[in-house]
Structure 1
Amino acid sequence: MNDIEKFQFKLELILNLKSAKDIQDWATNRIEQNMTDSEALEICFFSKEKQVLDYFYNIKFEWLNLPPTLKKIFFREALRKYIEPPPTIEYSEELIRSIFGMLLELSKIAEDEDLYDLIDHYDDELCLILDGIYNSAPEEVWPSFLNDLRNRLSIKSLSI
């Protein structure tokens, strides 16, 4: 398993795009192709999903040696997958604040200033609404953010 795969798996786990079982299945398939991949073999021997999660959550993004361009590519691809399906849950103010916080952190890790600025803008807008400074409804922020993010990802996908 290389640093690119570790980065991608950790990112997808954080965004709930992959499960521990998905990664265990990947590791099993990898071992069938390459018996020398010691990290994939280690993942195959984890008996509990929590062990897989712990393994990836304990990997620090800064330990992974990836060029900024690759980080941006994988971050943007993960975001596309994250916003692709229509939301099936109702987003509360607390959940939206939490998601904005997580996305801000991930955009810093991916060194994606453009997306960081977009996320920060909507996070600030939500804060201003909640503080009564900006006259709008909090539930309007999330759909507007998703729309702008979709547009940004489709426009910027060619120029990273």
Structure 2
Amino acid sequence: MNDTEKFRFKLELILNLKSAKDIQDWATNRIEQDIIDSEALEICFFSKEKQVLDYFHNIKFEWLNLVPAVKRKTFREILKKYIEPPPIIEYSEQLIRNLFRMMLGLSKIAEDEDLYDFIDHYHDEFYLGLDGFYNLVPEDVWPSFLNDLKSWL
């Protein structure tokens, strides 16, 4: 398993795009192709999904040796998958606040300043809406952000 795959899996786990089982299945298939992939082999031997989650949780983004262009490209690909399905939940102010905070943090990790600025613009709109300075209610900012992000990506 290379650092790009680790980066991808960690992001997909954070965004709930993959489960620990999905990664274990990937590792099993990987071992069938490349028996000497020791990290994939290690994941195959985890008996509990929590062990897989802990494995990726304990990988620090800073430890991964990736050039910024690869981080940006990978993050944008994953973000496309994240926003692809239409939202099926109702977003509360607290959830939206947390989602923006998470997206801003991940865009910093991916070293994607353009995306960070794009997200930050909507993050500001959200807070302006909370304070009554913006004509959208805070709960309408998130769907607007997702729609514009689809076009932007």
TM-score (norm 1): 0.93
* Aligned residue in 2 for 1:28: 28
1:86 aligned to 2:86? yes
Distance of 2:39 and 2:143 partners within structure 1: 40
Matches within 5 A, 1:1-160: 1-153=1-153
Uncovered stretches (5+) of structure 2, i.e. residues with no partner: none
**Secondary structure at the counterpart of residue 17 of structure 1:** coil
Runs of 5+ consecutive residues of structure 1 not aligned to the other structure: 154-160
Tell me which residue corresponds to 1:156: none
- Runs of 4+ in structure 1 displaced over 4 angstroms? none
Task: Tell me how far 1:144 sits from its aligned partner.
Answer: 1.1
AA matched with 1:57:
H
Output the CA distance in 2 between the equivalents of 1:152 and 1:7.
23
TM-score when normalising by structure 2: 0.97
Whole-Å Cα distance in 2 between the matches of residues 33 and 88 of structure 1? 37
Q: CA RMSD in A?
A: 0.9
Q: How far apart, CA to CA, are the structure 1 residues paired with 2:87 and 2:3?
A: 31
Are the counterparts in 1 of residues 104 and 119 from structure 2 also a CA contact under 8 Å?
Answer: yes
Measured after TM superposition, the shift of residue 136 of structure 1 is: 2.6
Cα shift at 1:146: 0.9
Residues 88-111 of structure 1 show CA distances to partners (whole Å, capped at 9, x for unaligned) of: 111111111111101000000111
Deviation at 1:148, TM superposition (A): 1.3
**Aligned pair count?**
153
